[in-house]
Amino acid sequence: MPERTVSVASSIGLHARPAALFSQAAAKAGVPVTITNAAGKTVNAASILGVLSLGVDHGDQVTIAADGEGADAALDILAQLLGRDLDKE
């Protein structure tokens, strides 16, 4: 399954605004996307509660994965999103 591992650039970590923006983007990806934290917990990336439950801080590595048509393109967009400081945008 295609996946990308990235470190989270948002200075406040993946919660609040960055988590909301990331989940919204994942929901629009067209394919189911999962996100896994460094501890190995995997959740549905389109669920804000799921993403919040991972407790991802600034600089933590996460792995996003998706399968199906367009999975690679969707992951590229989401990985790029995680690599930006979403709280400043």
Partner 1 sequence: MARKPAPALAGLLAVESLRLGQSAVDRDDAIRQVGAALRDSGAVDDSYVEAMLERERSVSTYVGEGIAIPHATFAGSDAVRRDALAIVQFPAGVDWDGHDVRVCVGIAAQGNGHIALLSQLATVLLARDNAATLCAATSPQQVLGLLRPKHSK
Enumerate binding residues for partner 1 (CB under 8 A).
12-13, 15-17, 20-21, 39, 43, 47-57, 87
Kindly state the smallest distance separating residue 21's Cβ from partner 1, in Å: 7
Decide: 14 and 7 in contact? Cβ < 8 Å. no
Task: Calculate ∠ Cα 59-13-78, nearest 5°.
Answer: 80
By the 8 A CB rule, do 1 and 30 touch?
A: no
Shortest Å, Cβ 20 to partner 1: 5
Q: Give 3 or 57: the residue with its C-beta nearer to partner 1.
A: 57
Nearer to partner 1, 12 or 31 (CB): 12
Which residue among the candidates 10, 13, 14, 15 is catalytic per the annotation?
A: 15
**Token pair for 83:** 């690599």
Q: Any catalytic annotation for residue 58?
A: no
Helix or strand or coil: residue 48?
Answer: helix
Distance CA 4, CA 63 (A): 6
Of 54 and 75, CB closest to partner 1: 54
Annotated catalytic residues are: 15
